[in-house]
Amino acid sequence: MILELKNITMQFGGVTAIDNLNFGVKSGEIYGLIGPNGAGKTTLFNIVTGNYIQTKGTVIFNHEELSGVKPNEIVLKGIARTFQNIRLFKSMSVLENVLIGFHHQANYTYIESIFRLPRHFSNEKKIKKEAMVILEKFGIADLADTNSSSLSYGNQRKVEIARALATNPRLLLLDEPAAGMNPSETEDLSNIIKKIKTEFGLTILLIEHDMKFVNNMCDKVLVLDYGEQIFEGKPSDAIVDEKVVAAYLGDFEHA
């Protein structure tokens, strides 16, 4: 198990968003988190990334307990994420966005950057090369100098994943990677995700509503409803599970 969540409960001022949740993700797996809106999926991401501190329970990553570790330190331990509503650095180019992910892999101090000492140049050259390699894998190397805010939606998603990959993670958290994409873009993206997963030896935890995408991608899924776990197992079994179907129908009624 690369990631284990034990007895996780999260309350916001009396409202229980996640109720006593237990699950584990095996190394090399693509694990899906599904469930109606407001089921607590993104909340769970925010607990794993240290943005929220759970009311109860423990998160164990790579045999190490994560409680009290700050969000930026969790990245250094090997967990990277994307956001539900793409959050690129809008004033920067595609390449610069990815370079931010390489921040800690460039070894020069602030003083060295002020005086432009040799290590500044050698390290910048190194990370720029590596950033271009990642962009090529996503097929967007030609967009390197384009401003990130002028990209198409699909390409913005790719940049966001590329940027997360640049931090050299072992576990990648993707929050609705296929949202807002057309079928061909979705297919393109799932191929890339599968490719980078093998090449970089990643484990992937993803939130998604597109059941076709989930079916095609995930080895295992966990279904959440109102913060409670109602199903864990193969995606093909999930869609025929009574409880799961009921939960989704309930969601439609509310909407």
Partner 1 sequence: MKIIKLVMLSVAILFVIFAQNNLDPYTVSILNNMAIFGILALSYNLINGVAGQFSLEPNGFVAIGAYVTALLILPASSKIDMFALEDPAPIILAMHTSFFPALLMSGIVAAVLAFILSIPVFRVRGDYLAIVTLGFGFIIRIFAMNQTKYTNGAMGLNDIPGNANLLWTGGIIIVTFIVMLNVIYSKYGRAMKAVRDDEDAATAMGINTFWIKTYAFMTSAFFEGVGGGLMASLLTTISPDQFTFLLTFQLLIIIVLGGLGSMSGTLIGAVLVMGGTEWLRFLDQNMDIFGYNTGAHPGLRMVVFSILLIIMMLFARKGIFGSSELTDIFKRGKQ
Partner 2 sequence: MDISTFVQQMINGISLGSMYALIAIGYTLVYGVLRLINFAHGDIMMVGAFVAYLAQNAGVPFELAVILAIIAAMVTGILTDKIAYKPLRNAPKISLLITAIGISFFLENLFNVLFGGVPRAFSAPDYLTKIIHYDGIIVPVTVIIIPVVTLILLFIILWILNKTKYGMAIRSLAFDIPTVKLMGINADIIIMLVFAIGSALAAVGGIFYAVSYPSIDPLMGVIVGLKAFAAAVLGGIGSVAGAVIGGFILGFTEIVVVAFMPDLGGYKDAFAFIFLILVLLFKPTGIMGQDLDRSRF
User: Applying CB under 8 A, which residues contact partner 2?
Assistant: 12, 42, 46, 51-52
- Examine residue 125 and tell whether it contacts partner 1 (CB under 8 A): no
- Minimum distance from residue 52 beta carbon to partner 2 (Å): 8
Binder of partner 1 out of 2, 39, 75, 217 (CB under 8 A)? 75
- Minimum distance from residue 160 beta carbon to partner 1 (Å): 9
Residue 34 sits at φ, ψ, to 5 deg, of -130, 170
Structure tokens at 140: 């967007």
Given partner 1, partner 2, none, residue 42, with its beta carbon under 5 to 8 Å by kind, binds: partner 2
- Dist CA 217 CA 40 (whole Å): 21
Closest CA to 99 of 136, 48, 134, 59: 134
- Minimum distance from residue 181 beta carbon to partner 2 (Å): 22
Sheet order of strands, 30-34 included: 79-81, 171-175, 203-207, 30-34, 220-225, 228-233
Q: Judged by CB, which is closer to partner 1: 155, or 167?
A: 167
x-marked contacts with partner 1 along 37-66 as a string, rule CB under 8 A: ------------x-x---------------
Q: What is the DSSP string of 67-109?
A: TT--HHHHHHHTEEE--SS----TTSBHHHHHHHHTGGGS---
| Phi/psi-derived region of residue 183, left when phi > 0, alpha when psi is between -120 and 50, beta in every other case | alpha
- Minimum distance from residue 159 beta carbon to partner 1 (Å): 12
Q: Judged by CB, which is closer to partner 1: 91, or 236?
A: 91
Taking only Cα atoms into account, the Rg of the chain, rounded to an integer number of angstroms, comes to 19
Residue 18 Cα distances to 22, 34, 210, angstroms: 11, 14, 22
Given partner 1, partner 2, none, residue 252, with its beta carbon under 5 to 8 Å by kind, binds: none
Q: Judged by CB, which is closer to partner 1: 75, or 238?
A: 75
CB atoms within 10 A of CB 200: 14
x-marked contacts with partner 1 along 155-184 as a string, rule CB under 8 A: --------xx-xx-----------------
CB atoms within 10 A of CB 51: 14
Q: Judged by CB, which is closer to partner 2: 13, or 118?
A: 13
Q: Judged by CB, which is closer to partner 1: 168, or 215?
A: 168
Residues that bind partner 1 (CB under 8 A): 49, 51, 71-73, 75-76, 80-81, 83, 87-92, 96, 99-104, 106, 108, 110, 113-116, 120, 123-124, 127, 145, 163-164, 166-167
